[in-house]
Amino acid sequence: MTTSAKTWFYNTPENNAYLIGERIRTSLWDARFGDIWLETARSEAPYLMRGTLQNTDVELEWMPKQWCILRTKPAHSLLYGGVKNILGFDAVFKYETPNGFTAWEWRLGNAKERWQAIQGKPEFGKLQQIK
């Protein structure tokens, strides 16, 4: 299966858990994350994948053509760099969630509005903009 972010982020994927999982895993495997395994937790928008990479818990959630959030516990900066390369642009925010995940958030548009909405909220610990 030929896949890239064009098949799942820049376009709406089919609402089929198996095919969504294959698209995401193939994108990550092609980016040299051969040890990652993600399962589809939600096969409708916003989509959600959960799994592991070595000893790291991983969640990938996205709304096609709008936003993508990578969450890892513990923080996994190499995977962040891989998703950045897959999407073709950098995340705009990084923060810690109440359940101990480090999150990187990518936005197409409305980043300023999102920043205003999440500042000062305790569920976005150590919030920082990525420049």
Please determine, for residue 1, whether its predicted confidence score (pLDDT) is greater than 70: no
The pLDDT value recorded for residue 66 is 97
Mean model confidence pLDDT for the chain? 95
- Residue ranges covered by each domain of the chain: 5-129
The pLDDT value recorded for residue 94 is 98
The pLDDT value recorded for residue 2 is 59
| Positive/negative CA dihedral, 56, 78, 20, 123 | positive
The pLDDT value recorded for residue 55 is 95
Give pLDDT tens digits for 61-94: 999 999 999 999 999 999 999 999 999 999 999 9
Please determine, for residue 3, whether its predicted confidence score (pLDDT) is greater than 90: no
The pLDDT value recorded for residue 7 is 87
Choose among 118, 80, 81, 117: nearest CA to 102. 80
Q: How big is the chain by its Cα radius of gyration, in Å?
A: 14
Average pLDDT of the residues in 108-125:
93
